[in-house]
Amino acid sequence: MARKQSTRRTVAITILAWFIGLLMFFPILWTAVAAFKSESDAYTLPQNMLSTPWTLENFGIVQERSDYFRYVFNTVIIAVLSTLLGLLFAVPAAWSMAFAPRTTPSSTISGWGWLAIVFSCGLIAAGVLYANGWHPQNAVVGFLLLLLCIVPPTAWVWTRATTDTLLWMLSTKMMPPAGALIAIYLMFNRNGLIFKDWGWINLSEYNLIDSFWGMVPLAMLLNLPIIIWMLYTYFKEIPVEILEAARMDGASLWNEIVRVLTPMALPGIASTCLLNLILAWNEAFWSLNLTNKYAAPLSFFISEYSSPEGQFWAKLSAASLMAIVPILIVGWFSQKQLVRGLTFGAVK
Amino acid sequence: MTTFDTALVGASSQPPHFQQFSNLVRYGVAGLMAVIGALALIFDFPFAQLGVFQPMMYALGLVVVCLVIDVPFRKLNYQLGMIGVYLFGAAAAWVAWYSGGNWLSQDAADFIWKVTALFSFLFTIAAGVWNAPFKNFAAKTAAIPMMYIVLFAFIGCSLWTVLYSTSDARIYPLYTYVGLKQYYRLFGAEIWHIAVKNVLIYIALSTTGAMVAGFLLAVFMDQKIRLEGLFRTIYLYPFALSFIVTGHVWAWIFSPEYGLEKSVRQLGWTTFSFDWIANNDMAIYCVIIAGLWQGTGLVMALMLAGLRGIDEEVWKAARVDGIPKWRTYISIVIPMMRPVLITTLVFVAAGAFRVYDIVVALTDGGPGISTTVPSQYVYKYLFSGNIGQGLAAATTMLVVSAVILIPWVYVEFVKGKQIR
């Protein structure tokens, strides 16, 4: 009796799981089906899903109208290069967060106390400059610049452990990009006067907008905190004794990271790369606003089809499908890494 | 003299290579460097003839001099770290110098690069005199590149945003101080009020909705279902796809002529009406539904991790005591999952607060301006040549999210560490 009930329960749960799965997958499925229908048939979906003929013409038209493979190429370049660039910065940082021995405080004032002292000194300096007749802009910008030069070494010297500092910094990823990265946009902008003329190189002659030189570092900056965070969670699983053994055997820092740590953390690094590729692939806001032709990735390609005038559902669906298929496939074959990546290392 | 170091650092923690030289030598070297630095600063010696290359040569000279003096004292990783500090100082000085006239006056730039260079000097001297700060050196050195990036790209740019929100910058980011004028304008604008109202509705509903639905889904997934990994992936797919891509399907589903309304009517319920997307008051709820579709999978996965983290013994004990399952979830499991719940809540709420692409893909703020959100307001003014106004809105967003995030970060990372 009990056995029968549990079988019934299993069946019910399985059916429910499939139902929820279908519900979640339905919009994607709808896109996929509409992509294979003619324009007029697409409007009658989803009732006539099976009775209307299937066609491949949408893909041909989309490829003809806007060169799909060029956008794929751009997306891959931006995603791959930004991932590699990000790893370059992230691996040492994550190493230092995960394996740095926590030292005793080097003084009775904590790191943040020292930061506060430095900050108020800077503030006083700016006030003095202002009182001495400096233009407020010069006084304030001067103060900020000084702060930027003086705080990092001070923080670096005085904080007890790097982990706390870095975690504080990583929390900036949670801030709205609207606030944090606008300055970068203005720097990219040819009209932005920041850093325009550096004497020997005049940046207004070079446009970072719509170029890989602009998009790759930007994509790297957008995802760097997440890469570091992910790598940190992976590195923490590696027993520190192994690295200590390498150190005892006389391995240098370089060898310790490159020859010992990296091979051991390779699955983690691969999973991080996958996450970063997906995030860079999906990135929409900056690519829509900072590219228009030469370095435009797939997000831009989609937006070309969702123009308000004339609704081409079938072609839009075909374009969308072409843009998401790589992610769907890659995600399918690396389910574990996808789940762990998208939950920022929380789910193993 | 020797007690100076040992009192602070402890004799046993002294690296052996520091013992090779007496303190007299170290203080002598530090003093010599100070004299050289002072001379160079006062007389601009010997680079005064070099014109615009002066700060660069000065900084390079700094690096060379410090290295030559320093090399016998230190290990290689120390050297690399110091080079990093010097080069950063040099770069900052250089930037200050060359941008002088653009966004700094020439005098200010001059002053700043000199102070920067001087600081690099003082830093070296401090390091030479008192080596306590250089414990854990390699770890700190390895973190330097990332530290500078975060400081520049996130913190520096945020500070810049705050600063320029007090300017009347329009097309060009030029600074003319106007006080809080931009903020008065911002809070007087009707569209900003609509945006704030929308984002509050969005945060409230999508956060509660995603948390509840995500938790129920996680509980469901925890019932040992077959092909669990597969379903987890499928539930997470919406989160893995760009909403710019999937948004158009939702626009289609919500559309009265082509979407859900038409389908249900064709099934026979001819009076069925679902035109929220075209309705000023209801359009934001369409955005929320789509947002829930996208975000629930993530919440589910995080919650599932939390559920799996709970000891099997807890369940056994509850079963022995005869507590029904639902009661165990409410009274035991949820309180035990509090850290996970709070972290997830912060994640979802922070994501909801900066909602942008869903709105753009689905309604683009329409109909009219009824679904505008703060991020959109920022970009609208930023790209239409009213930078100051956009930055005022951005600053408001930054401040609000900082007020939410900083206590969380403090509790999660700082206080939690001390307890452990």
User: For the segment B211-270, what is each residue's pLDDT rounded down to a tens digit?
Assistant: 999 999 998 888 877 788 888 888 888 888 888 887 888 888 888 777 777 778 877 777
Average pLDDT estimate for A21-28: 87
Largest interatomic CA distance in chain A: 91
**Which of A158-162, A269-273, B214-218 comes out lowest in average pLDDT?**
A158-162
Q: How far apart are CA B141 and CA B81, in angstroms?
A: 5
Q: How far apart are CA B412 and CA B418, in angstroms?
A: 10
Nearest in space to B99 (alpha carbons), one of A190, A198, A147, A204: A198
Q: How far apart are CA B77 and CA B140, in angstroms?
A: 10
- The amino acid that residue B26 corresponds to is R
How close B282 comes to chain A (CA, Å)? 21
> B190-224: per-residue pLDDT in tens?
999 999 999 999 999 999 999 999 999 998 888 87
Q: What pLDDT is attached to residue B194?
A: 92
Q: Which of B9, B115, B225 sits opposite A13 (nearest CB)?
A: B225
Q: A231 by DSSP, 3-state: which?
A: helix
B258: nearest CA partner in chain A: A43
Q: How far apart are CA A84 and CA A276, in angstroms?
A: 10
**What domains appear along chain B, each with residue ranges and CATH number?**
3-164 (no CATH), 187-419 (1.10.3720.10)
B294: nearest CA partner in chain A: A24
- Residues from chain A contacting residue B150 (CB–CB below 8 Å): 169-170, 172, 224-225
CB contact, 8 Å: B71 with chain A?
A: no
Interface test with A, best of B222, B237, B375 (most A CBs within 10 A): B237
Q: Which of B266, B354, B414 sits opposite A47 (nearest CB)?
A: B266
Q: B260 by DSSP, 3-state: which?
A: helix
- What Cα–Cα distance (Å) separates residue A222 from each residue in A161, A225, A264, A322? 25, 8, 27, 24
Q: How far apart are CA B110 and CA B122, in angstroms?
A: 18
Q: Rg for chain B (alpha carbons), in Å?
A: 30
Nearest in space to B296 (alpha carbons), one of A326, A343, A285, A12: A343
Q: A149 by DSSP, 3-state: which?
A: helix
Q: Are B156 and A148 in contact (CB under 8 A)?
A: yes
How close B124 comes to chain A (CA, Å)? 11
- Residues from chain B contacting residue A75 (CB–CB below 8 Å): none
Q: What pLDDT is attached to residue A81?
A: 93
Nearest in space to B290 (alpha carbons), one of B345, B193, B219, B209: B209
pLDDT confidence tier of residue A84, bands split at 50, 70 and 90: very high
CB contact, 8 Å: B77 with chain A?
A: yes
Q: Are A83 and A273 in contact (CB under 8 A)?
A: yes
- Residues from chain A contacting residue B139 (CB–CB below 8 Å): 95-96, 99-101, 162
**Which of A202-211, A253-262, B49-58, B143-152 comes out lowest in average pLDDT?**
B49-58
In the predicted model, residues of chain B with pLDDT beneath 70 are 1-144, 147-148, 151-152, 409-410, 412-420
Determine whether the interchain pair B102/A196 forms a contact, defined as Cβ–Cβ distance below 8 Å: yes
Model-level pTM? 0.75
Has the ipTM of the complex gone over 0.90?
no
Q: Are B240 and A337 in contact (CB under 8 A)?
A: no
Q: How far apart are CA A246 and CA B224, in angstroms?
A: 42
Alpha helices, DSSP H only, in B270-356?
Answer: 283-308, 312-320, 325-328, 334-336, 338-353
